[in-house]
Structure 1
Amino acid sequence: MRAGATAIALLSGHAAAHASEQGGVQAVPPSDPGNPPAPGGVAGAPQAGPQAGPQAGPQAGPPAPFDLATINDIVVTAQRRAESIQDVPIAISVFESSDRDRRGIRSIQDFANFTPGLTFSSSLDRLSLRGIGRLTNTIGSDPGVAIYNDGFYTASNAEASKTPMFVERVEFLRGPQGTLYGRNSVGGAINVISKRPTEEQAGEWRSSVDNLQLVSEGYLSGPIVGGLKARLSAQVTRATGSRYENIARTATSRDEGFVNRFFLEGQLQYDFSDTTQLWLKYSHAEWNDSNPIGAQVSPYVTNDIDGATDNSLTPAAAFGYGVPNPSVTDPRRINSNTLNQSLLSDNHTIVANFTADIGGVALKYVGGYTQYKYQAFADLDYTANQLVVTNFGSAPIPALAPFGLANAFRTYSYNATYVQDYQEDKKYYTNELTLSNATQGRFNWIVGAYQFHEKYFQPVTWFVDGDNSDTLSQRIAAPICVAPGTFAIVPNCPTNPRRAFYDGSGDLRTDGLAGFGQVDYELVDDLKATAGLRYSWDKKRGFESYRVIQWQPAGAATYCTLTPGADAAVVGLGACGAAAAAQDLTRFLLNLPGVGAATRELEDSWSGFSWRLGLDWKANNDTLVFGSYSRGLKAGGFNLGSYADSPVVDKEIVDAFEVGVKSRPLSSLMLNVTGFYYDYKNAQIPIVVVRPGSTLTTTNFFNINKSRSWGIEVESAWNVTRSLEISANYSFNDTKILRAPRRFDDEGMPGNILEDITGNRLPAASKHKVAISGLYDIEVGANDHIFLAASYAYRSDAYYSVFESPISRAPGWDQVDARITYTRPDDGITVILYARNLFDTLGYDGAFSTGAATNYRQVYSYTFPRQAGVEVQFRF
């Protein structure tokens, strides 16, 4: 983003996991190679790219000749053709590589801080624009903001986080982009445009080090022979510190919140002629990170063994635990004996662009393929407690009294180390062909066809770690199966060698097709009308597996057996300690015959039209007034892996009305204002519900009948002098649920109370966002420069559930960043001193409850702590 870009960007940085809420425990693990867990949650499938921000230290490129006397123009491709950003009748924010370098805009969290209406939860790896985005990362669901990697659709947020070494610019298109972009752009679209091979030999090396990481990256570029050019880039990130101090450090559980990554990218470009070109890009990434979802900041509950409502699958991890929770007084300190680790492997991405001018018609083909495997381990119990030995809550077994053994089994043990293993195995490819008029005129047109295919497997397991010496491990490895209705024991219950108390998986195949077209016509001088239409068809076929096993030695409805196993002799019923059998409740809960995991297939398809109707008026050379009515569409989906009662949701529809003004009142001042109103139908919301006939919970999908979102966005850039620029933006976004299908119980809060969520805000939508930045250029000698940059960002509170309960509310927060850049263009040398989150404030980007099984403890996820470091760059 150069001076005058609609997006006013500054500095910041953070990281990301998916919330998997099934069974009787709620866990939020990482997923999605998109951004670290991605907390990523675990969210759809990312295409892994080099990380920026805290993932990769700030860097700065060679400042181009710099003149702040006037607002410079920026060319974008938001409408599939090159246009000045001030002439595009769309609310769009753009970040160019040169300005990202000067200001230190690195990560997707930075973009979110300084793009009106955009919010990002690093802990859950979810983007939202104007209150519309992704509310779950469960397989079978889709994001609401589409990301395009050089025209290739991806569900990965990582692409938008790549550093300026790799990316020429990033465009954020706010509002439904259902005509030209289509797939999942119901909330907006993000275009990531790579740097291409250069006409002349060029290269660069950059290295930065701070209190969290060391980042080295570089590229070589230039012609090979004839019209063939190439570019090779690489980035290596190694941890020098961590975000969280772990008071229970061991050989396998150390301080957490660190990044170790490798990224490689290669490009080939062949120019057949001035109008015909083929461009290919290959990339590969590897991760070995630690990405804790956040900190449980409530005190441990140490006097309860089976949760607030007796609905946990295993005994409470903190029972009898004598170590206080360090996060209560310092949320940057945790207590864990399980490393929250995320691993990315087998990651390969290929993108192809082919363009040609055929008799005045511009032809463009974009195709791509991505595959990756991702695995994330998460500490489900938030403690470092291990072996617990107790007789709490157990009772004598009367049937053994004649043998003098009534009390022989009252003492039991369990390893309180509960771990989640979340995995993604994804492959997908797309093809798109467009035709358009090669030369812009009074009448412009574009038509196209699009195809998408994806294979996605997502197993999630919660298991008991340890050496198998405790009662819990031995019992849960050989459970008994309980029949529905009668509670009778069913023979031949399958064993459970991994000691999993929840084991669910989803296997999904998705196919999508679309055809689209758009025209714009200048009705009279300076007055233009736009009309676009797209038809989309999506089909999903899913297979899911689900199994839950409970072991509660103090439970009242537990079979007592002397030895583990399906055919063990029953000697009683009740709280029988070490004699308590592990009970496979899968078929009992679902009222299904048989034993072991329950499986089923789901299949559905969705189709519909999305469109755009617009009118824009060029009032004068410096003012554009525009208005539009557009419809966005997102396919329905499944909730796979939990055998939910309501596993299917219908498609989402957004009818968006927008008006705006883009202006340059002075040659040194840019001022853009946009207002919008959304009619949002069938928002796809995951809500935890209690399974009928039990106290155990599961996550169901629901369509929220009707919601609305409206707001105002202001962006400005003022070049005060030739050396000083001040940029500022503000956004107001008011969201509300207008009608819901039913009343729901907030599983994150105590009590079984049905609530009407009508009137509540949409999740992850902050009402107020402010960003202010300043950039001052000091000339040193003939060509050298010192750039002084500082920024301030503020985001008001947000709820991370449809329930406006205190436990799902993340407080508002702000952040200050600063950097000093000294550059010698003639020598190709740049040196930077930087401080991100200068005052080390706590930034909240997620809030949730651990649920009833662990007595409703508060968990917050946080942005990155202060990073202070130095970077050196050398260009040749």
Structure 2
Amino acid sequence: MKKSIIIAATLAAPMYGQVAIAQNAPRAGNAIEEVLVTARKRDESLQGVPVAVTAVSAEEMAANNVATIADISKLAPSLDQREGRKQGAFSIRGVGQVRLNEVQADPGVAVYMDGIFLARNDSQLLDTVALQSVQVLRGPQGTLFGKNSVGGAILVTSKEPAEQLAMSFNSRLDTLGQRDLQVSMDVPLIEDRLLSRLTLASVKSDGYAEDDDTGRHLGDDDRLVASLQLVWRISDTLSMKSLAYFNKQDENISPHYCQQITLTGAMSYARTPGRSETYNEVCSESEKLIGTEKVKTENFGSVFTSRDALFGNTLTWDVGPGTLTSITSYVIKGDNFSDFDFDATDLLSVGNTSHVRDQLKRQGVYDDEGGRYTLGQEIQYTGTAFSDKMNYTVGLFASWESLDRQLSGQSTNEEGWVGFESLPGLPSLNMFCGLLPEDCLYVRGINTASLSSYDNTSYAAFSQLTYDILPSLQLTAGLRYSYEQREIHVELFDSQTVPPILGIPLPPSIPITVMTETQFNQLDGTEIELSRGDTRNGELDFERLSPMASLSWNASEHFDMAGVDDLMLYASVSEGFKSGGFNVLSTGIGSFDPEYVVSKEIGFKLDALDRRMRLNMALYSSDYKDIQVVVSTVPSLGAPELYTNNAGLAKMEGVEMELKWLLSDKWMLNASGNYIDAEFLEFDDETLDPITGAPTSVDRSDEPFPFIPKYVYNLSANYTTQTRFGVIDFVLSRNTRAEQFIGGDSAAGRPEFRDSATIKGFSTWSARLSWVPKDRDNVSLSLYGNNITNKEYIATGSAVYSGFGTNSITLGKEAHFGLELKYEFAD
């Protein structure tokens, strides 16, 4: 086998978003060769595209231990994903969707699989099995794509069927109980005409923490994936690619811990029937388990289950001077359920909707049949004009999405009863029962639920053209019209109120009573019944005209610069738009407005030193208007609720860099990273008094921007050598992230709490050693390790101090090492 680290596009018929590393390709003078991308819907060299784009092949993903597309964030500047989450929830340049309840808001970063838009965050976290490449496009994307995306786009391309009968096998084992298996088979059904590829994969692991009570593994993997592709070359001018993709997922959420910060939260002194500890006490016990691979959270729920099916058909027809493409898709999410224990303790179960689900099942209201589907149709025509001086794309897009009976609910524990040893704003309990022989508690019942059905309709017309003003000077302009309609139907369920027991009524505006310890503990096992409440409907419409323009110049064609092989400079401005939507709260339906981003960017792409060094850089400034942020409130002594609000104005400025440097025929250095300065200019929020529910305005514009590290960078060295035993390849990488603010409410953003609501930066190291035996280039064996220095770090979290007074944090995985075997056979 001839060793190669050349990056090249070699497939005969590149499809949407395709890029590959060529195997066994000769090295042209030990140079970094061309990367072919289709970021602008046509085959172009990465170095000639005036777009900030990162292209990662399947081989590069394997070399960097990438298991899901979330791990691409270690390679692509400005791409971020909250580690440990089962949802995608990607952001690019600080723009994206971090909400856990993914059905109520559109993602800010669009993910396309073979051109098919994946509409919700909980369908975006794709495994890398059967993938050919991933492209990450930074900044607003809409004038070339079906769905508008305010932050950027991730283009995922699956491997195409081979021309001949072939089979591949991939197996992986590691010290966290990872046991993955993948089998792919390429079968030509009609020679040179009808090709097929079937992939079956199982991804399993034991997780990386155990529940202290039950031994249940958290942060585990349990997925089954099946993919069937057909490529039919109907004629010389007409071809069709069909895809059927299935995913079955049954997993527990990642382990998370409680950190006690302040005792001023509404739930700080909360208790549940039958237990004497308060919330702040059990939080402190949870905190003691950090670093022990044990966790104390609820013994039920906290799961992520899903059944997904995707069917897509892409028809490509060469017509006249261009190509007509039709992309039809149907995406189904069947049995799906996810919850999350926001309070991160085994006392409360705020955010864990398992109890509410089971109760509605017993009442015959909920039957797990609430499903989702998305039907999409995109038609685009790409062609040339004016003696090939102009390239253009025009297109139409429509999607119809239905989400039926999506469950949400608000409760504090299984029974729904919560007691308080004290509450801010209320007098000491001694005033009510100081003469009694036992202590008293403020008590209220919290148990609500809702079943929400959504119908989302999107229509768009988009166009973009590129004109060669000079052979070295290009002008690109684009325009998009978007129309979004949102409809919602909500069935609300509520619970009975708690009558006064001691005969000492509180003001009617305070929905609580007073009980003795004995009376409160007698509620253990007594469930608050749900009763059907109001049915509410809502409808919203949004439309927007979004432009873009860019100018690129190949300076190397005019200036002879020492050591410079190619230098392309570009400048662009573009606007992104994301639809508004609905909030479903315990009090009913609310709404939030669309958000807008105007991004200005300048950059260059450089090949130098006889194409042994490649350096791409971009500087950008984004004006973010009506930014959709997740905030928390405590509605009148209820459990804290998360909802989406519009924050006014924000500004992001940053720089991105990617470097590849071929030092010799054996050594390659890679570096990538970004720096971002993000700040709110306007952020007017509203807080509710935890006792009366009365609203108060608060200015949060001086808070740090949440969930955005100021800088992230990745450094790696790749050594490859030919020995008498075969090819040895070694990669060592370091990924570094700065600290980030995780505040979820205005209390966490107050100056005295900001340090507590900020998680520390960290660096992790990974390595991979691969061996391809001599004269057996269809076999490879790899040893790999992630977080090899066993760094203990907080991956992500949330800080809600008005409600809990605590941080809920998710730790990253400890050091783990594995073995991977690949085998390929071709007839």
Q: In structure 2, do the counterparts of structure 1 residues 433 and 296 end up closer, same or farther at CA, with 3 Å as the change threshold?
A: same
Task: Say if 1:118 and 1:129, in contact at 8 Å, map to a contact too.
Answer: yes
What per-residue deviation string (whole Å, max 9, x for no partner) do you get for residues 289-340 of structure 1? 1113522244999xx9983387x99898843989972542524320245145
Q: Which residue in 1 is equivalent to 2:632?
A: 688
Counterparts of 2:585 and 2:476 in 1: how far apart (Å)? 44
Residue 598 of structure 2 corresponds to 655
TM-score of the two chains, using structure 1 as the length reference: 0.76
Residue 182 of structure 2 corresponds to 217
Among residues 844, 849, 866, which one is paired with 2:794 in the alignment? 844
Q: Is the 8 A contact 2:344 2:808 kept in 1?
A: no
Given that residues 727 and 772 in structure 1 are in contact (C-alpha distance below 8 angstroms), is that contact kept between their aligned partners in structure 2?
A: yes
| Cα distance in 1, alignment partners of residues 155 and 771 from structure 2 | 30
The residue number in structure 2 matching 1:799 is 741
Distance 1:555 1:596, change over 3 A: farther
What SS class does the counterpart of residue 325 from structure 2 fall into?
strand
Q: CA deviation at 1:579?
A: 5.7
The corresponding residue for 1:476 is none
2:576 is the alignment partner of 1:632: yes
For residues 260-298 of structure 1, give each alpha carbon's deviation from its aligned partner in whole angstroms, at most 9, with x where no partner exists. 221111111110123311110101111121113522244
In structure 1, the residue matched to 2:544 is 608
Distance (Å, rounded) in 2 between the aligned partners of 1:726 and 1:510: 46
Residues 59-99 of structure 1, C-alpha deviations (whole Å, 9 max, x = no match): x9995447492112111111011111111100001101122
Which position in structure 2 is the counterpart of 1:865? 814
Q: Verify the 8 A CA contact 1:362 1:438 in the aligned structure 2.
A: no
Q: What's the offset of the Cα at 1:462? A: 5.1
Shift in alpha-carbon separation, 1:628–1:555, aligned structure 2, 3 A: farther
What does the per-residue CA deviation read over 1:662-713, in whole Å, with 9 as the maximum and x for residues that have no partner?
Answer: 011221000111000011111112322344x667654443222211101011
Map 1:642-721 onto structure 2 (within 5 A): 642-643=586-587, 647-666=590-609, 667-691=611-635, 697-721=640-664
Name the counterpart of 2:767.
818
Q: Which residue of 2 aligns with 1:832?
A: 782
Residues 408-449 of structure 1: per-residue CA shift (max 9 Å, x gap): xxxxxxxx9995759873211110001111689211111110
| Contact 2:742 2:798 (8 Å CA) reproduced | yes
Matched, 1:441 2:404: no
Q: Tell me which residue corresponds to 1:48.
A: none
Residue 104 of structure 1 aligns to a residue whose secondary structure is coil
Which gives a bigger RCO, structure 1 or 2 (Cα 8 Å, sep 6+)?
A: 1
Give the aligned partner of residue 283 of structure 1: 245
Q: Which residue of 1 aligns with 2:278?
A: 319
Q: How does 1:218-237 map to 2 (within 5 A)?
A: 218-226=183-191, 227-237=193-203
Instruction: Answer yes or no: is the 8 Å Cα contact 2:594–2:626 preserved in 1.
Output: yes
Corresponding position of 2:421: none
Q: Cα 1:184–1:361, aligned 2, differ >3 Å: closer, same or farther?
A: closer
The 2-side partners of 1:536 and 1:365 are apart by 19
**Matching of residues 108-257 of structure 1 within 5 Å:** 108-124=69-85, 125=87, 126-138=89-101, 139-155=103-119, 162-181=126-145, 183-212=147-176, 213-226=178-191, 227-239=193-205, 241-249=206-214, 254-257=216-219
Mapped partners of 2:210, 2:223: distance in 1: 21
User: For each residue in 1:595-614, what CA deviation from the matched residue of structure 2 results, as whole angstroms up to 9, or x when unmatched?
Assistant: 74333111010001112111
Instruction: Report the Cα distance in structure 1 between the residues aligned to 2:407 and 2:600, rounded to whole angstroms.
Output: 41
Cα distance change of structure 1 residues 550 and 73 upon mapping to structure 2, 3 Å threshold: farther
Change (3 A) 1:774 1:601: same
Contact 1:256 1:339 in 2 (8 A): no
The amino acid across from 1:674 in the alignment is A
Corresponding residue for residue 786 of structure 1: 728
List per-residue Cα deviations over 1:352-391 (Å, max 9, x = no partner): 111010122210011111111311354566445699xxxx
Identity %: 22
**Letter paired with 2:209:** Y
What residue number does 1:328 align with? 288
Q: Which moved more, 1:537-546 or 1:288-297?
A: 288-297
| Pairing 1:273–2:235 present | yes
Q: Write the distance in 2 (CA, Å) between the matches of 1:109 and 1:140.
A: 22
Cα distance, 1:659–1:575 mapped onto 2, change above 3 Å: same
Equivalent residue for 1:460, pick from 380, 390, 408:
408
In structure 2, what is the equivalent of residue 487 of structure 1?
none
Q: Partner letter of residue 784 of structure 2?
A: Y
Question: Which residue in 1 is equivalent to 2:50?
Answer: 89
Deviation at 1:583? 11
1:16 paired residue number: none
Partner amino acid, structure 2, of 1:597: G
- Conserved 8 A contact 2:578-2:594: yes
Q: 1:286 to 1:155 in 2, by over 3 A?
A: same
Alignment-derived partner of residue 591 in structure 1: none
Q: Is the 8 A contact 2:668 2:717 kept in 1?
A: yes
After TM superposition, the structure 1 stretch with the greater mean CA deviation from structure 2, 378-387 or 181-190, is 378-387
- Work out whether residues 108 and 157 of structure 1, in 8 Å CA contact, stay in contact via their aligned partners in 2: no
In 2, the alpha carbon distance for the partners of 1:379 and 1:700 equals 16
Q: Distance in 2 between matches of 1:61 and 1:215?
A: 24
Name the SS of the counterpart of 1:98 in structure 2.
helix
State how far apart, in whole Å, the 1-side matches of 2:763 and 2:325 are.
43
Partner Cα distance (1:722, 1:553) in 2: 80
Q: CA deviation at 1:140?
A: 2.5
* Closer/same/farther in 2, CA of residues 554 and 619 from structure 1, 3 Å limit: farther
Cα 1:114–1:604 change in 2 (3 A) is same
Q: Distance in 1 between matches of 2:64 and 2:660?
A: 14
Q: Contact 1:516 / 1:533 at 8 angstroms: preserved in 2? A: yes
What amino acid is the match of 1:873? K
Which of the numbers 298, 307, 311 marks the counterpart of 2:267? 307
How far 1:224 moved relative to its partner?
A: 1.0
- 1: distance between equivalents of 2:679 and 2:496? 39
Q: Distance in 2 between matches of 1:554 and 1:728?
A: 66
Aligned residue pairs, count:
733
For 2:51 and 2:653, the matched residues in 1 are separated by 16
Which sits farther off after the overlay, 679-688 or 714-723? 679-688
For residues 120 and 600 of structure 2, the distance between their equivalents in structure 1, rounded to whole angstroms, comes to 28
- Conserved 8 A contact 1:527-1:616: yes
1:811–1:556 CA distance, 2 compared to 1 (3 A): farther
Contact 1:381 1:417 in 2 (8 A): no
The CA distance in 2 between the partners of 1:779 and 1:665, in whole Å, is: 26
Residue type of the alignment partner of 1:668: R
2:720 to 742, 764, 777: 777
Deviations 1:379-404 (A, max 9, x none): 566445699xxxxxxxxxxxxxxxxx
Query: Counterpart in 2 of 1:509?
Result: 455
2:145·2:462 contact (CA, 8 Å) conserved in 1? no
SS of match in other structure, 2:684: coil
Where does structure 1 lack aligned partners over 5 or more consecutive residues? 7-59, 388-415, 474-498, 561-571, 587-594
Aligned to 1:374: 336
Kindly indicate whether the alpha-carbon contact (under 8 Å) linking 2:416 and 2:527 is maintained by their aligned counterparts in 1. Answer: no
